[in-house]
Amino acid sequence: MVIFAEEVVSSRREALWWRRLVSKRECLCVGRAGLYLYHTRKAAGTSLREVLTRAARKYRVRMWETEGLSVDARFLAMKSAVTVVSVRHPVDRALSLYWYEHVGWWDGVKKDHSKLRTLSEWIDEWQDGSPWKRNFAEKNPKNVYVEVQNYFTKMLSAEGDLEKAKLALERFDVIFVCERSKRPEHLALLSAALNFHVDFTKAPASNVFDAKPHQRLEASLAPNISRARQTLTELNDRDLNFYSFALDLDDRRTNYYAKKASLIITPSRHEDAEGTKQKNIVCDTPPARQLDSVNGIFRPPGHKH
């Protein structure tokens, strides 16, 4: 059997990822770790927050969450924090953002249809280079709270660099793929990382449109959805590349985990006969003060435009 050089490199990367995950899980199980969620907008971020919040309470550890800013590399450098991020097809995510962020607000909350823009108008105004987007970006540097163009690349690289975004993605311990939310083999990685069973009995809410405004208003707000999808496809060339990379990375990690799952270290190995936690596990202390400044939701004025 011929083994190509790229296959060897890939296997080494998965091995390094696996050792890192096992080490962090050890620290988590004895309450000496942290959890970090990069909250990807309209990609099951809320569902993942609930899961990680449950884990943080169980192990009595600190949880950080960032939403709306490009990721800070210091979160990914923590040796004892399990890091989680989600991905979703870029075009589906952008369409969901429109119905939730724009239509859901002006139709469902404010009841002011005079502020509603058609899907095409909304895409035109939020894409890079438009007068509105340039002004918004100047006032809110590094903010990615509302993005219709290469959101994933920007959220993981402040420069919007595709290769840097891929490298950042590899530094996350768990990558949740919305389109795979019902696959047991996909959820097994998240369950293993957190040491309890995770099961989405139904697809996360961000996997589908906000059905009511979508059904009521599609004819008037999105009369040519196929053209809008084509526009978004053209705008998201880097993100579509990134998404393919994310799916491949998830496949490789899932396959590697299937081979190594029986070797994962269980919490019982860190307790003596009386259940007392041992003290010989090496875990770092996250720099809480520095990280707190980039923790939370960064929701800028004008995001409902």
Contacts 24+ apart (CB under 8 A), 301-304: 301/139, 302/136, 302/139, 303/101, 303/145, 303/146, 304/101, 304/102, 304/105, 304/106
Q: For position 12, what pLDDT does the model report?
A: 87
Question: For residue 10, what pLDDT is reported?
Answer: 60
The residues, any chain, with a CB within 8 Å of residue 63's CB and separated by 6 or more, are 34, 35, 36, 37, 52, 53, 55, 56
**Confidence (pLDDT) at 272:** 35
CA proximity to 177, closest of 98, 245, 76: 245
In tens digits, what is the pLDDT along the chain, a chain of 305 residues? 444 344 445 688 999 999 999 999 999 999 988 999 999 999 999 999 999 999 999 999 999 999 999 999 989 988 889 999 999 999 999 999 999 999 999 998 899 999 999 999 999 999 999 999 999 999 998 899 999 999 999 999 999 999 999 999 999 999 999 999 989 889 999 999 999 888 876 555 544 445 577 778 898 999 999 999 999 999 999 999 999 999 999 999 999 998 876 545 454 444 433 344 445 677 877 667 778 888 888 999 888 88
pLDDT at site 270: 44
- Residue extents of the structural domains in the chain: 5-297
Q: Closest Cα to residue 156, out of 239, 96, 97, 225?
A: 239
Q: How far apart are CA 20 and CA 264, in angstroms?
A: 11
Name the pTM for this structure.
0.88
Calpha distance 48→62 (Å, rounded): 15
* Helix and strand numbers, DSSP H then E, in the chain: 13, 5
pLDDT at 202: 59
